[in-house]
Structure 1
Amino acid sequence: MTSESHWLAVAVATPAHSGIGTPLTYRSAQALAPGTLVRVPLGTREVLGVVWSELPEPEPNLAKSAREIAGTLGDLPPLDEQWRALMSFAARYYQRALGEIALAALPPQLRNLNATQMARRLKRKSASKGHQNPEEAIARKELSNEQANALLQIEEKSGPFLLFGTTGSGKTEVYMRAAERVMTRDAHSQVLVLVPEINLTPQLEARFIERFGADAVVSMHSGLTPAQRLAGWLAAHTGQARIVLGTRMGVLASMPHLALIVVDEEHDPSYKQQEGARYSARDLAIYRGRLLNAKVILGSATPSLESWEGSRPTEEGGPGRYLRLAMPLRIGASGSGSGMPRVRRVDMGRQPRGTLIAPPLLNAIEERVGRGEQALLLLNRRGYAPVLHCADCGWKSECPYCSAYRVFHKIDRTLRCHHCGFTERVPRACPSCGNVDIGTIGRGTEQLEEHLAQLLEPLARPDGTPVRVARIDADSTRGKGSLETQLAQVHAGEVDVLVGTQMIAKGHDFRRVTLVAAINPDAALFSSDFRAPERLFSLLLQAAGRAGRDASVAAASEMWVQTHHPSHPLYEALKAHDYPSFAESQLLERAQAGLPPFAHLALLRADARSQEAAQAFLKEAAQTAQSALAEDGHLSSSLVETTWYPPVPMAVQRVANIERAQMLIESQSRSALQRVLAACQPLLHQLRSAPEHRGIVRWAVDVDPLAV
């Protein structure tokens, strides 16, 4: 080996089953700065890697076997130290390989570029137009007192901030003003704005482009083409994009001058990745802000209970981690009211059996449509009916590959599994007994749309044209651009009644909607999932916020809830639009039960060919880990602070013929739980390779899981 060789630790995306979680050693003929993107040989392939650090010359055997890097990506600036620190933390905290996290944060198209191609793209970027100066932007509306006070606090305090603002209180304007101030103060500073779902990106993007100019704003989400993702990433990485709007993947973007992070609708479960590296974008945003000394704003009308408790002031016995900023009034609200719609509950126990839409609600919808207003109906179940069944023999439309039912989709006459995707045509007769009279159980958005169209058929709009009912859910928006088209029709007033799932309940600014109705929300009231009430209250209050967003119709707006439990405390709090009292009651229950945010959880999951194999793996993992940790003087105290529960099947036990089981590990100490999980990693890899566990397909650790 020549004395001119340089030794580098390079992070690559090693396979999860390999047990290699740290960077690999390579040699280079030239010195390369940490953060440099390189192409390196790995097995028989050539892959993308990130230089993590320089290394001293290794011992002779390793030096002899180390392979040489294949090349760099030309003049692309290295990924900075703060970005690498974020990746290291995420890998450590969420128990994943460093290369897996770091490489997943990069656009896939980088893997196929050579130095010449990269130079061409960088040249193209540098030729882009200048940005609009925030000080020269369009005329501003006058801020409300609440908005002005929130901005003053953000300007003067370090944060992080929890912006607790009711729907329609003007949180987005606060975000944009805060971004303006940061960008005006420093000509290079960058702003990251996260939203929970792709469908919320276009309207927010339009507002930011109108304010800051198209060249200052880029988007990052999975709906972009590979070329678009690469272009946006390069703009952010080189500092040319001042504002990045993204879904959860945006929190991992390289932004060397990041000065402000906004997490809109911070309560939304979409911020938690559910496959691969199961990270929380909201929590990483908080960590990244601390790492960079950047300000972080978490915004929501219904904050997560973790954030609400985290913002409880120290003088009230809380941790005071966040500074809570309240904006309880809608823009344009007058008098003593908040401007939120009146909540009306319909007791479905008093309605005729089988009623889908109660007569009083139908009358209210007809009145709204007759006045040229819009109504929005929320039913959080897509398809026509959840189950097809035979009353003669009891057959149901079970999926042959999953422990779930296939959903009946009338629009294309199919039975479709929403877990594995298996789809078949609806049988003409019962496959079990031949009965041709097959019925449905339950209702979905397709059935609600059809039923409403029939009920409203005799009615006409103010201009005499027929009433139009439309549906927005994951099925109706599958085609490229279809969601944007349908939303544009709603905004233009071409739709009178909109039916949909939770997709339509968050973030949209429907100016003509004056009535919102939740059709069948009761199931979550009695769920075994301890987070179900929190999610239901959030969904309903967010849905209510779609009504009366135009101040001229706010006083007459309504939220209807069809329920068999009208006196339930959750609906009482909803009627009063009283999130604080709901949160306090839920937090009291959580504290008594020892649940988050008063405890910290992790799930160890196993997928196998049989349920017995999955549970046996988890059981042995627990026994092996606890024995090994008990003998380790440094870890025995951490083990004492954790509780290990027996393995159980997951809620949906079988998906695509793979059996799934999980084991819960709980601790009052986050650091103790982290030490235990880190010590378990090598033991789990050893168990996975043992002959008796050949039936295991994969295992994973989920830190801070949303469902247990």
Structure 2
Amino acid sequence: MMLRFQRRIAAPLALLHSGLSDRERERAWHAARSGRARVVVGTRSALFTPLPRLGLILVDEEHDLSFKQQEGFRYSARDLAVIRAQRSGCPVLLGSATPSLESLNNALRGRYGHLRLPERAGGAHAPRLDLLDIRSARLDGGLSPVMLRLTGEQLQAGNQVLLFLNRRGYAPVLTCYDCGWVAECGRCDARMTLHLQSRLLWCHHCGSQRRLERRCPECGGGEVHPMGQGTERLAETLGQRFPDVSLVRIDRDATRRKGSLERLLGEIREGRHTLLLGTQMLAKGHHFPDVTLVGILDVDQGLFGADFRAAERMAQLITQVAGRAGRAEKPGRVVIQTRHPDHPLLHTLVRQGYDAFARMALTERRETQFPPFSHQALLRAEAHDERLPRQFLELAMALGRELAARDVEFWGPVPAPMERRAGRYRAHLLVQGAERARLQRLLARWVPRLPDLEGARRVRWSIDVDPQEML
């Protein structure tokens, strides 16, 4: 993005993100504060940069979950961008091919202006989307025979193929066939992911690692076996099926070294790699004009997630990945492997597009009174003792009910979906109100009194307004 701005805008620019050194960030901050830098390009924290003559705020991919700071100081950069623009008296543009349901609802209600771009850049045609039923298919490394055939045809024609699997590592499960042992994290209620290249078992939630053992640590019997696919295992399978094709893998493990991601993306654009495999790092914002086939290998978990936003996230991801196909003169095709080809949400998305899906999802949200038709705050508590978070939240709920208006509801307390994480037990209390003003009035009276509750100092607690994840 920085390169694109530099090519098109003559004014001085400043770049701000966490990957910079302290000196680089300080230099960019002072350039913005003094007015020397006329444009600031950055991640969510760049929103707090002082700009003496702020005239426009652009939020690209406004739906993206990364705009919400989840730890420490919690805030939504997208929502704060709207507030900062309002106070500065300047316009704010929220851009996305897959707008969040909150932003789309604001546009439909007339609170936001709604600017549509119905045509693709450069006159390219929208790709064809197809559902591929894999219920009875014998998969090879997560790939169906049809997907392998389509991939081979496009590679033979000299085109590029992108295969998307949003799961890094070699396999998400390591198990013993003799006794049923499964490699689990000792600090989280989660299974450890096998990373075969480094011969490590890795918890993707707390970061703990341990060396891979050849034999089962439970029964000492036969060898342990990986189950499921990650990008590392998929790359191995593709290398065996297409040995003469240049393959590149783009995920967090393959791009750890500074500059490696930029180098690999440049090689893709130059045509040095024809088979592209990656996670969501490869899904958004990239222009690969020779990609004619995009294969999406595993999206079914988004159809039945416990979070009410799971289907929205799934639809956004599918649409974003699909946007990598057919971006120039060559027509594109997107094939989605699924074991639920009759699911109505998938059918609406594939046949009618994201806009129809979003309107359908908004109707469901309205009927269930979930956001954006209500407003939420999540009180989280955690401790090393399993009982303490629940006890604290019970007292917090009793206090909240004394202070709340009638139309404010308290749900819980309940254990978090992943109750134990990094050695601490976690529980949630969800507060929901039909009107934001009443919920805010409750929070203004309730939160200052929480530190005085019995047991408050024995737990780590936090309040998250408009929570985007319930994990």
Q: TM-score, normalised by structure 2?
A: 0.97
Q: Does 1:703 align with 2:441?
A: no
Structure-1 residue corresponding to 2:164: 378
Q: Does 1:330 align with 2:99?
A: no
| Partner residue of 1:601 out of 372, 376, 390 | 376
Structure-2 residue corresponding to 1:682: 448
Structure-2 residue corresponding to 1:46: none
Structure-1 residue corresponding to 2:56: 260
| Partner residue of 2:414 out of 648, 671, 679 | 648
What's the secondary structure of 1:671's corresponding residue? helix
Structure-1 residue corresponding to 2:392: 617
Q: Does 1:671 align with 2:434?
A: no
Contact 1:625 1:683 in 2 (8 A): no
Cα distance in 2 for residues equivalent to 1:597 and 1:230? 38
Structure-2 residue corresponding to 1:582: 357
What's the secondary structure of 1:654's corresponding residue? strand
Structure-2 residue corresponding to 1:546: 324
Structure-2 residue corresponding to 1:193: none
Superimposed CA distance per residue, residues 369-413 of structure 1 (whole angstroms, 9 cap, x where no aligned partner): 222221111111111111101121111110011111110001111
Contact 1:608 1:660 in 2 (8 A): yes
| Partner residue of 2:101 out of 302, 305, 312 | 305
Structure-1 residue corresponding to 2:197: 411
Contact 2:59 2:93 in 1 (8 A): yes
Cα distance in 2 for residues equivalent to 1:260 and 1:353? 50
Structure-1 residue corresponding to 2:262: 484
Contact 1:611 1:649 in 2 (8 A): no
Structure-2 residue corresponding to 1:591: 366
| Partner residue of 2:314 out of 513, 528, 536 | 536
| Partner residue of 1:289 out of 85, 92, 103 | 85
Once the two structures are superposed, the pairs formed by residues 460-475 of structure 1 within 5 Å of their partners are 466-475=244-253
Once the 2 structures are TM-superposed, how far is the Cα of residue 350 of structure 1 from its aligned partner? 3.2
What's the secondary structure of 1:605's corresponding residue? strand
What's the secondary structure of 2:412's corresponding residue? coil
Once the two structures are superposed, the pairs formed by residues 410-489 of structure 1 within 5 Å of their partners are 410-457=196-243, 466-489=244-267
Unaligned runs of 5+ in 2: none
Cα distance in 1 for residues equivalent to 2:220 and 2:352? 52
Superimposed CA distance per residue, residues 302-330 of structure 1 (whole angstroms, 9 cap, x where no aligned partner): 10001111101xxxxxx211111111111
| Partner residue of 1:514 out of 292, 301, 304 | 292
Once the two structures are superposed, the pairs formed by residues 99-138 of structure 1 within 5 Å of their partners are none
Structure 1 residues 693, 598: closer, same or farther in 2, change over 3 A?
A: closer
Structure-2 residue corresponding to 1:190: none
What's the secondary structure of 1:346's corresponding residue? strand
What's the secondary structure of 2:138's corresponding residue? coil
Once the 2 structures are TM-superposed, how far is the Cα of residue 569 of structure 1 from its aligned partner? 2.1
Structure-2 residue corresponding to 1:502: 280
Structure-2 residue corresponding to 1:350: 136
Q: Which segment is superposed worse, 350-359 or 556-565?
A: 350-359
Cα distance in 1 for residues equivalent to 2:240 and 2:39? 46
Cα distance in 2 for residues equivalent to 1:425 and 1:234? 46
Unaligned runs of 5+ in 1: 1-203, 313-318, 458-465, 630-637
Structure-2 residue corresponding to 1:232: 28
Once the 2 structures are TM-superposed, how far is the Cα of residue 442 of structure 1 from its aligned partner? 1.4
Once the 2 structures are TM-superposed, how far is the Cα of residue 625 of structure 1 from its aligned partner? 3.4
Contact 2:247 2:277 in 1 (8 A): yes
Cα distance in 2 for residues equivalent to 1:376 and 1:454? 17
What letter matches 1:258 in structure 2? L
Once the 2 structures are TM-superposed, how far is the Cα of residue 695 of structure 1 from its aligned partner? 3.3
What letter matches 2:40 in structure 1? V
Cα distance in 2 for residues equivalent to 1:570 and 1:626? 37
Structure-2 residue corresponding to 1:219: 15
Cα distance in 2 for residues equivalent to 1:431 and 1:265? 45
Structure-2 residue corresponding to 1:634: none
Cα distance in 2 for residues equivalent to 1:311 and 1:330? 21
Once the 2 structures are TM-superposed, how far is the Cα of residue 570 of structure 1 from its aligned partner? 2.5
Cα distance in 1 for residues equivalent to 2:324 and 2:461? 41
What letter matches 1:375 in structure 2? V
Once the 2 structures are TM-superposed, how far is the Cα of residue 291 of structure 1 from its aligned partner? 0.6
What's the secondary structure of 1:349's corresponding residue? coil
Once the 2 structures are TM-superposed, how far is the Cα of residue 437 of structure 1 from its aligned partner? 2.0
Structure-2 residue corresponding to 1:571: 346
Once the 2 structures are TM-superposed, how far is the Cα of residue 607 of structure 1 from its aligned partner? 1.3
Cα distance in 2 for residues equivalent to 1:649 and 1:478? 34
What letter matches 2:173 in structure 1? V
What's the secondary structure of 2:69's corresponding residue? coil
Once the two structures are superposed, the pairs formed by residues 15-30 of structure 1 within 5 Å of their partners are none
Superimposed CA distance per residue, residues 314-363 of structure 1 (whole angstroms, 9 cap, x where no aligned partner): xxxxx211111111111343xxxx71111122110131266621222212
Q: TM-score, normalised by structure 1?
A: 0.65
Aligned CA RMSD, in angstroms, stands at 1.5
Cα distance in 1 for residues equivalent to 2:422 and 2:339? 35
Superimposed CA distance per residue, residues 562-605 of structure 1 (whole angstroms, 9 cap, x where no aligned partner): 11112222322332352221111101110111100000000000
Q: Does 1:210 align with 2:7?
A: yes
Contact 1:621 1:683 in 2 (8 A): no
Cα distance in 1 for residues equivalent to 2:141 and 2:253? 25
What letter matches 1:535 in structure 2? R
Structure-2 residue corresponding to 1:89: none
Cα distance in 2 for residues equivalent to 1:681 and 1:301? 37
What's the secondary structure of 2:405's corresponding residue? helix
What's the secondary structure of 1:380's corresponding residue? coil
What letter matches 1:673 in structure 2? L
Q: In percent, how many aligned pairs have the same letter?
A: 44
Structure-2 residue corresponding to 1:241: 37
Cα distance in 1 for residues equivalent to 2:432 and 2:279? 33
What letter matches 2:117 in structure 1? M
Cα distance in 2 for residues equivalent to 1:206 and 1:514? 25
Aligned residues: 470
Once the 2 structures are TM-superposed, how far is the Cα of residue 641 of structure 1 from its aligned partner? 2.7
What letter matches 2:2 in structure 1? E
What letter matches 2:58 in structure 1? V
Q: Does 1:363 align with 2:149?
A: yes
Structure 1 residues 241, 297: closer, same or farther in 2, change over 3 A?
A: same
Cα distance in 2 for residues equivalent to 1:362 and 1:431? 37
Which structure exhibits the higher relative contact order, with contacts defined as CA atoms closer than 8 Å and separated by 6 or more residues?
Answer: 2
Superimposed CA distance per residue, residues 672-698 of structure 1 (whole angstroms, 9 cap, x where no aligned partner): 1111112122211112xx4x45531x1
Once the 2 structures are TM-superposed, how far is the Cα of residue 268 of structure 1 from its aligned partner? 0.8
Cα distance in 2 for residues equivalent to 1:453 and 1:505? 21
Superimposed CA distance per residue, residues 97-118 of structure 1 (whole angstroms, 9 cap, x where no aligned partner): xxxxxxxxxxxxxxxxxxxxxx
Structure-2 residue corresponding to 1:145: none
Contact 1:609 1:695 in 2 (8 A): no
